[in-house]
Structure 1
Amino acid sequence: MDWFTSSDYWLTRLVFQRGLAALYLIAFVVAANQGRALIGERGLTPVPRFTAQMPFRRSPSLFHLHFSDRFFTGCAWLGAALAAAVVAGAADQVPLWAAMLMWLVLWLLYLSIVNVGQVWYGFGWESLLLETGFLAVFLGNARTAPPVLVLWLLRWLLFRVEFGAGLIKIRGDRCWRQLTCLYFHHETQPMPGPLSWFFHRLPRPLHRVEVAANHVAQLAVPFALFTPQPVASVAGGVIVVTQLWLVASGNFSWLNWVTILLALAAVDGRRAARALGLPEPPPLTGPPVWYEALVLAATVLVVVLSYWPARNLVSGSQLMNYSFNPLHLVNTYGAFGSVNRARFEVVIQGTDEPVPAPDAVWKEYEFRGKPGDVRRMPRQFAPYHLRLDWMMWFAGISPAYARSWFGPLVTKLLEGDRATLKLLRVCPFPDAPPTHIRARLFLYRFTTWSELRATGAWWHRTLIREFLPPVALDRPDRQPSRPGGPDGRGGDGVGR
């Protein structure tokens, strides 16, 4: 079918597939490095306990059939190796059916991880990676021209990501309508990056311009994705620029990078290749009939499943980052429906004194990404995802977010569990675990220019209250106190 494929998008597909495989690689490495401590047999929320309560039909996963730490880690490294091979171009060197099988295995392996990942994998970018990865199965390889239907499905996905995020803002916190949300967001976002302090200190009129530009990029530009070229390419380029702005201003795992790849999928590859001075590709063959049938079937499936997210977009009670099926296909997306006005951080401390007296010396555990030491400049980790650090941000909003895992985390620290300590940047007890652990809630704010020059501190913090009273291994059952903050204000579950 001449209408079925378009060789104009050969460069588009090449960049999209290699980039997506790179993100798969990062996601699998994250799972391999953090899985044992978070969801392993002795993890904070063990998979065997979860699968014993959750039926397979509600969370289809390879790990319902068998789970061990070694098996899970092996699957994660297998996914990483396969993703690395695709990044290197292996999928373009094999027959079409083999390339599709490689992409399918990547999707199935990561689906298996997400569906047993519990709170640690409850973020919107997990579903976004899976939905994008599913469509990549049907995008073909260098042996055939890209199918037009799949290219349109990628645009439909990008539209839902951007337009859904725009709607949830306009319908949510009034500061988005008043153009004032960025007075707070760069400071209170889950994990600030090295430039977040500087973004926060931009003049307020510029913050208002940022919000207005965001509304245009998310509420108007997505409609141009469905227009003829070169307008669709321009729309994709605008989205890329706005996503790069977000990459520079914070750490949002691979959310922005998947969105960038989806936006690039709307760009006319032939025009881009000519602009870059790249040679024309060799003539691409027509697709086999079986491939056309699979693409048509996948298209029909996505169209049918699109009913629920499309209805959600026009609903007055819009859901954010929600999967309507256990395969995470055709989801709804959005982030920051509300913005916190203040930043509360849970700081975990330990002491090695047998009985902690009022003058006891308490030493702090330092996390890799979340704010702790006020003199430590925020780091850039995205697209790598620090799952425990992100959940600690939710704990600062309300202990309810930490009910299932904070107690086990404290127990692991009291035991000096090596897998758990590897998730941290600094353990203040390198020789023996502490006798007691406590947690305190602090109000953090970015310092001013004068404070930064005078003290070298990026943050100023104020003690609010006790979050968890001192506990020892013989009293591990004590719970964090409530509520989440003095003003009772919660967050919106960004990315969740």
Structure 2
Amino acid sequence: MPDWLAAPDYATARWVVQHLVALVYVIAFTVALAQFRPLIGERGLTPIPRFLARTTFRRHPSLFHLRYSDTLFRVVAAVGLVLALAALAGATDVLPLGAGIALWAVLWVLYLSIVNVGQVWYGFGWESLLLEAGFLVTFLGRADVAPPAPILWLLVWLLFRVEFGAGLIKLRGDRCWRDLTCLDYHHETQPLPGPTSRFFHHLPRPLHRAEVLANHVTQLVVPFLLFLPQPVASIAALVVVVTQGWLVSSGNFAWLNLLTITLAFAAIDDARLGWLVSLPEPGPLPTWFAVVVIAVTVLMLALSVWPVLNMASGRQLMNAGITPVHLGNSYGAFGSVTRKREEVVLEGTRDPSGDDEAEWREYGFRAKPGDPYRRPPQLAPYHRRLDWLMWFAPLAPRMARGWLPTLLDRLLEADAPTLRLLRHDPFDGERPAWVRARLFRYRFTTRAERRETGAWWHRELLGDYLPARSRPTSRTSAP
């Protein structure tokens, strides 16, 4: 076996990467179990059976092409969760090497099957990132075998695509990234602000300029340093970890930041990381495993051609790929930044008239801004899919038409699974007579407003987003 195939000095890096990827799988399958039924279940807002009827296995490979039911989905997600917990507990270091590879492979197939039928609810870059990272982790081996160097390099290459792709899309996208003003807006207008986002928003403008400049350095310069000899690669990886920690502290981006931190550890050797955990001295790679590693490396290098061409193109695509199995993707985020925050607020009333004089009560969401007096919560790395899509609704009304009217109908029915996605049901499980969607403009309160009112947000009504609608049994013309 060639010496270049083994990287014994990265045993701790492998241990960290495997355990963090397993943790993200745990979160992802937990989210799937908790939220799938009202979103993509048989009576979901965009039902999987309806989606499967208009697609093919070739376009969207998934176990659910064989058969779909909500019960089967629960089984798939539950098995995935159990296997992810086993991997997190170190089962792949106890099992034979081949069995450990099989465990990681099953995890990947199960989550791929969910993502490929998840439709708009799973259309986020971190889904593909988890699948690509999970695929590579499958071939990292167990503790008593030296980490395969090509797989570690592929993980670093994946990190490069995440960071450098994001940096390029910013420079090519919004002018505010070039004049260093994007963070004058972003902390306030990002999809799901966190508890510290208001603090970051009110930082002095020169600090915002410094934040943007540091972001450019981290995403456009530091990724190249990851491929240099130690200790430069480890220092570059640490810069990525610190930067991603900054993003975690200022907003909610599901498990994107955690996965990016995970990939950064693949570039840190035992000289810097060995203190973290005591591991056995790894032995050589078995011949059959070396052959598998080489085959996977050749495959991933071939799939890397398109991401390179995409990043080099003036028409760079963000969070896109050419394979239906989410390998060889191009990544990026926030190529443009919105300057003002608009929110769709859902309301209901028991008044049969349903007019503007009725007492309208607001439904509360778990993550997205609603009640101006509620501090934005910290959710990441957990993912609230409905709340994220509600942020997109004012930005892409055509996209929201596919599910938002159905959401209003589910509220009219007081559908229990749908109500469980919310933080507050103003009718305590009873059916309202009418519901409606209204559009508000939100901004963070100033320091003076916060002291005077105690509110985190100031909002003003812009108008109706969707007109009031009533239950079919008693529907009359909307006011």
TM-score (norm 2): 0.97
Shift of 1:104: 0.3
Distance 2:223 2:363 in 1: 44
Query: What residue in structure 2 maps to residue 75 of structure 1?
Result: 76
Deviations 1:154-199 (A, max 9, x none): 1110000000000000001000000000000000000000000100
Q: What code does the residue aligned with 1:137 have?
A: T
Query: What residue in structure 1 maps to residue 132 of structure 2?
Result: 131
Query: What residue in structure 1 maps to residue 221 of structure 2?
Result: 220
Distance 1:189 1:477 in 2: 37
Kindly tell me: are residues 329 and 475 of structure 1, through their superposed partners in 2, closer, same or farther at Cα, counting changes over 3 Å?
farther
Deviations 1:398-456 (A, max 9, x none): 31120110111111110111110110000111142101111110000000011111111
Deviations 1:298-331 (A, max 9, x none): 1010011111110000000000000211000010
Q: Which stretches of structure 1, 4 residues or more, deviate above 3 A after TM superposition?
A: 475-478
Shift of 1:7: 1.1
Q: Is the 8 A contact 1:407 1:477 kept in 2?
A: no
Deviations 1:234-280 (A, max 9, x none): 01000000000000000000000000000111101243215x6x65x
Distance 1:298 1:476 in 2: 60
Q: Residue 226 of structure 1 aligns to a residue in which SS?
A: coil
Q: What code does the residue aligned with 1:330 have?
A: G
Q: How does 1:122-161 map to 2 (within 5 A)?
A: 122-161=123-162
Q: What code does the residue aligned with 2:302 have?
A: V
Query: What residue in structure 1 maps to residue 292 of structure 2?
Result: 294
Matched, 1:460 2:461: no
Matched, 1:451 2:452: no
Q: What code does the residue aligned with 1:106 have?
A: L
Q: How does 1:192-341 map to 2 (within 5 A)?
A: 192-274=193-275, 279=278, 281-341=279-339
Query: What residue in structure 2 maps to residue 33 of structure 1?
Result: 34
Distance 1:27 1:3 in 2: 34
Q: Is the 8 A contact 2:143 2:280 kept in 1?
A: no
Distance 1:431 1:260 in 2: 41
Q: Is the 8 A contact 2:152 2:266 kept in 1?
A: yes
Q: Residue 327 of structure 1 aligns to a residue in which SS?
A: coil
Distance 1:216 1:284 in 2: 36
Distance 1:156 1:358 in 2: 57
Distance 2:247 2:166 in 1: 13
Query: What residue in structure 2 maps to residue 489 of structure 1?
Result: none
Q: Percent identity?
A: 60
The number of aligned residues is 476
Shift of 1:379: 0.2
Distance 1:65 1:476 in 2: 40
Shift of 1:358: 3.1
Shift of 1:475: 8.9
Kindly tell me: are residues 303 and 472 of structure 1, through their superposed partners in 2, closer, same or farther at Cα, counting changes over 3 Å?
same
Distance 2:395 2:444 in 1: 18
Kindly tell me: are residues 324 and 354 of structure 1, through their superposed partners in 2, closer, same or farther at Cα, counting changes over 3 Å?
same
Query: What residue in structure 1 maps to residue 471 of structure 2?
Result: 473
Kindly tell me: are residues 61 and 417 of structure 1, through their superposed partners in 2, closer, same or farther at Cα, counting changes over 3 Å?
same
Q: Is the 8 A contact 2:164 2:219 kept in 1?
A: yes
Matched, 1:43 2:44: yes
Shift of 1:282: 2.8
Shift of 1:286: 1.2
Distance 2:308 2:355 in 1: 59
Q: What code does the residue aligned with 1:68 have?
A: S
Query: What residue in structure 2 maps to residue 167 of structure 1?
Result: 168
Question: Which of residues 427, 433, 437 in structure 2 aligns to 1:429?
Answer: 427
Matched, 1:391 2:392: no
Shift of 1:284: 1.7
Distance 2:283 2:437 in 1: 63
The two structures, once aligned, show a CA RMSD in angstroms of: 1.5
Q: Is the 8 A contact 1:411 1:476 kept in 2?
A: no
Query: What residue in structure 2 maps to residue 416 of structure 1?
Result: 414
Q: Is the 8 A contact 1:5 1:147 kept in 2?
A: yes
Kindly tell me: are residues 308 and 477 of structure 1, through their superposed partners in 2, closer, same or farther at Cα, counting changes over 3 Å?
farther
Distance 2:459 2:356 in 1: 21
Which consecutive residues of structure 2, in runs of 5 or more, have no partner in the other structure?
Answer: none
Query: What residue in structure 2 maps to residue 94 of structure 1?
Result: 95
Deviations 1:277-303 (A, max 9, x none): x65x43322111111111111101001
Shift of 1:396: 2.1
Query: What residue in structure 1 maps to residue 57 of structure 2?
Result: 56
Q: Is the 8 A contact 2:31 2:382 kept in 1?
A: yes
Distance 1:474 1:258 in 2: 45
Q: Residue 437 of structure 1 aligns to a residue in which SS?
A: strand
Query: What residue in structure 2 maps to residue 85 of structure 1?
Result: 86
Q: Is the 8 A contact 2:416 2:429 kept in 1?
A: no
Matched, 1:352 2:353: no
Q: Is the 8 A contact 2:234 2:272 kept in 1?
A: no
Matched, 1:364 2:365: no
Q: Is the 8 A contact 1:59 1:115 kept in 2?
A: yes
Query: What residue in structure 2 maps to residue 493 of structure 1?
Result: none
Kindly tell me: are residues 118 and 476 of structure 1, through their superposed partners in 2, closer, same or farther at Cα, counting changes over 3 Å?
farther
Distance 1:324 1:431 in 2: 45
Q: Is the 8 A contact 1:11 1:270 kept in 2?
A: no
Q: What code does the residue aligned with 2:82 have?
A: A
Q: What code does the residue aligned with 1:74 have?
A: V
Kindly tell me: are residues 426 and 249 of structure 1, through their superposed partners in 2, closer, same or farther at Cα, counting changes over 3 Å?
same
Kindly tell me: are residues 266 and 476 of structure 1, through their superposed partners in 2, closer, same or farther at Cα, counting changes over 3 Å?
farther
Q: Is the 8 A contact 2:156 2:226 kept in 1?
A: yes
Query: What residue in structure 2 maps to residue 486 of structure 1?
Result: none
Question: Which of residues 341, 344, 351 in structure 2 aligns to 1:343?
Answer: 341
